[in-house]
Amino acid sequence: MKKLEHIGIAVKNLEESEALFAKLLGTKPYKREIVESEQVTTSFFKIGDIKIELLSAINEQGPIAKFIEKKGEGIHHLAFETESIIHELEQKKEELFEIINQDPKDGADNKLISFLHPRSTNGVLIELCQEKINP
């Protein structure tokens, strides 16, 4: 793992939470992006070296809607940047972490992403990510 890349926070109302976090952090979001694979709209803030990713559900079947239904709003995942997501996933598998998606998928912010199940990580959903190399 290279570093903590961002913290994902599940929110009900993206407009309201963008305004709240803009006030809290003293900076505006730099990007809004829909991630079809996760059925979410994301909004990104940069604070120092770390990003905050607000996540709001596009529809009620998606993982964020289910998360909020079960646990309410709040921290949803921690995302760690990797040098090679494939290599990191192989290693995490050998170390007996439970991998949700072995094949990395397209995430927000030009990243490939995979998740480790919170069952194997003390209740914290862990995202592994790697910057996509643009051709």
Q: Which residues bind Zn ion (CB under 5 A)?
A: 8, 53, 79, 127
Nearer to Zn ion by Cβ, of 18 and 53: the residue is 53
In whole angstroms, how close is the CB of 77 to Zn ion at the nearest point?
6
In whole angstroms, how close is the CB of 82 to Zn ion at the nearest point?
13
In whole angstroms, how close is the CB of 51 to Zn ion at the nearest point?
9
- 67-106 core/surface letters (b: 16 or more CB in 10 A; e: else): bbeeeebeebbebbbbeebeebbeebeeeebebeeeebee
Taking CB atoms, the residue at the shortest distance from Zn ion is: 8
Nearer to Zn ion by Cβ, of 4 and 20: the residue is 4
Nearer to Zn ion by Cβ, of 27 and 52: the residue is 52
Q: Cα-flanking dihedrals φ and ψ of residue 4, to 5°?
A: -70, 120
In whole angstroms, how close is the CB of 87 to Zn ion at the nearest point?
20
Nearer to Zn ion by Cβ, of 78 and 86: the residue is 78
- CB atoms under 10 Å from CB of 54, counted, come to 25
- Give the Å distances, CA to CA, from 80 to 38, 60, 76, 130: 18, 27, 14, 9
User: Cα–Cα distance between 106 and 40 in angstroms, integer?
Assistant: 13
Contact 85, 129 (CB under 8 A): yes
